[in-house]
A and B are shown apart, each in its own frame.
Chain A
Amino acid sequence: MALLSVEHLTVSYGAIRAVRDLSLSVEAGEIVAVLGANGAGKSSTLNAIMGLLPASEGSVRLDGREIHGTPPERVVRLGMTLTPEGRHVFPRLTVEENLVLGAIPLRDRSRAQALRRRIFERFPVLAERRGQQAGTLSGGEQQQLAIARSLMSGPRLLLLDEPSLGLAPRYVDLIFDLILDLREEGTTILLVEQNVERTLSIADRGYVLVTGQLQLSGPAAELQASSGIERAYLGIGVA
């Protein structure tokens, strides 16, 4: 049984359909990419899966359990969380306070302590700046904090929305390495990215969206070789 299975997902903003009849699935241990041009509906897909968008139809199942319509504060307790596009750390809370909030879904205090230690090892810059307001961090540091905050809930499935967007090259490397490490440690990843080449080089499978509809899907290696993906980005679509 797939860890996450989405069927016939449709997301609307008023009269505009951002996502139409999308089905996808993620198996435990995979890195799955969702690709597409700006406005193709990638972020809407992640937000709808997470329950942040009320106006969506279709079915979203986590471990076979229907979670469509469940509010995000419940979904995170089921082991799935989202690191939103644009990082969205709480700028006027300290690094430490941001991490405290990330651990709210955990009942187990000692597990939260262990995760916190692990995160400070993994992100030394966050340990260094733990007392600093998050808004004063650089973009790359904020992205690390945003992901670290998501990891504090101990997710089995992590949805990452454009984690490398607007970052300096060395942070882009760091983020992609981090994604591979996380998978190594058993976290499943559903990744939305602009950086197609890097993404397909680490992903197992990918889905390509064009104006809200699925155009292409398959193993990452096949997508890399296909010409359809470039056309999807040029907005021509695939015949």
Chain B
Amino acid sequence: MDLFVQQLVNAISLGGVYALLALGLAMVFSIMGLVNFAHGEIMTLGGYAMWFVTVQFGAPLPVVVAASVLTGLVAALLMERIAFRPVRGASVVTMLLTSFAVSVMLQVTFQNVISPRPKGVQLPPEMSRVIPVLGVEIGVIQLTAIVMVLVSLGLIMLFLRRTTLGISMRAAAQDFSVARLMGIHADAVVATAFAISGLLAGVAAFLWVAQRGSVDPGMGLTPIIKAFIASVMGGLGSLPGAVVGGFVLGFVEIMLQAWLPQAALPFKDAASLAIVIAILLWRPQGLLGRAADRV
């Protein structure tokens, strides 16, 4: 039982990171039809910002978090302005290739300007402690992840439900040209979508790097592919779907990791993808996707 609870905590903290990334992808996709594969590099930049402030200034934890989140925000806004605004309204393929190009250019830049090798990020030792919660030993990192994920998701939900800009975002995701008839500025809505995706990627970067303790040029690749899988599984373009997809994927991965027999462990990714395929065969539009109304 304890083991299950511990694995559940792991699943929620890993799934939460996927959920943050998938929500960022879904946000941008629902507004401008772009699957941003350079989203992972926003995360990597956040990781390098953490490395920089810890190595250079020995910054305290809150500053490290702020550095990662703000770097995510600024990187996403710059990416939108420089790379994606010129191709807005272009074909899906054009936008997709643009995002691959941005991704590769950033990775090569990291390799040449910083280092192809991983850079260690030293966080305070309290972060890697284990504390008892209700009789179960739980890692501080996992606990932090769960809290930060829930707070981020809660704030995003409040923003989308309660503010005019948030309602505008949902409207623009449903019908972009009619949203413009309401006086909603296309530039503002797209920039906001990128800003939110960048903030979420910054939070995800902190949690990811805190977990593994280092950052390298290709760090963003794995999580971004997982996030993409999560958002497809949840229903591409559906914001709640992306969050649900992230948690489901995290849960599946952790449970396979914990209960697959030793000999089968090398196949855990294959097994988790097989489960994703099974889910999509059952619901081709994704868990919360709508079959026909995204036009």
| Chain A residues near B (Cβ < 8 Å) | 50, 52, 71-73, 76-77, 81-82, 84, 88, 90-93, 97, 100-102, 104-105, 149, 153
Q: How large is the interface on B (under 10, 10 to 19, 20 to 34, 35 or more residues)?
A: 10 to 19
Determine how close the nearest CB of chain B comes to the CB of A107; give it in whole angstroms. 11
Interface: B94 (CB within 8 A): no
Contact status of A104 and B184, CB under 8 A, knowing A91-B293, A97-B167 = yes
Chain B residues near A71: list those with CB within 8 A.
180, 186
Cβ–Cβ contact A101 & B179, under 8 A: yes
* A71-B182 Cα distance, complex, nearest whole Å: 12
Cβ–Cβ contact A72 & B174, under 8 A: no
Determine how close the nearest CB of chain A comes to the CB of B227; give it in whole angstroms. 23
Cβ–Cβ contact B183 & A76, under 8 A: yes
Chain B residues near A149: list those with CB within 8 A.
182
Mostly, the B contact residues are: helix
> Would you mind naming 9 contact pairs between A and B with Cβ atoms under 8 Å apart?
A73-B181, A73-B184, A82-B181, A90-B171, A91-B174, A91-B293, A100-B164, A101-B182, A104-B182
| Chain B residues near A (Cβ < 8 Å) | 164, 167-168, 170-171, 174-175, 177-186, 293
Q: Which residue of A lies closest to B187 (CB)?
A: A73
Interface centre among B167, B180, B182 (most CB of A within 10 A): B182
Chain A residues near B185: list those with CB within 8 A.
73
* A104-B189 Cα distance, complex, nearest whole Å: 13
Cβ–Cβ contact A104 & B164, under 8 A: yes
* A202-B174 Cα distance, complex, nearest whole Å: 34
* A149-B178 Cα distance, complex, nearest whole Å: 11
Determine how close the nearest CB of chain A comes to the CB of B10; give it in whole angstroms. 34
Among A50, A76, A82, A101, which residue has its beta carbon within 8 angstroms of that of B171?
A: A101
* A73-B188 Cα distance, complex, nearest whole Å: 11
Chain B residues near A81: list those with CB within 8 A.
181
Cβ–Cβ contact B174 & A92, under 8 A: yes
* A149-B293 Cα distance, complex, nearest whole Å: 21
Cβ–Cβ contact B170 & A93, under 8 A: yes
* A77-B184 Cα distance, complex, nearest whole Å: 10
* A72-B184 Cα distance, complex, nearest whole Å: 9
* A73-B168 Cα distance, complex, nearest whole Å: 12
* A76-B178 Cα distance, complex, nearest whole Å: 12
* A231-B184 Cα distance, complex, nearest whole Å: 42
Cβ–Cβ contact A100 & B167, under 8 A: yes
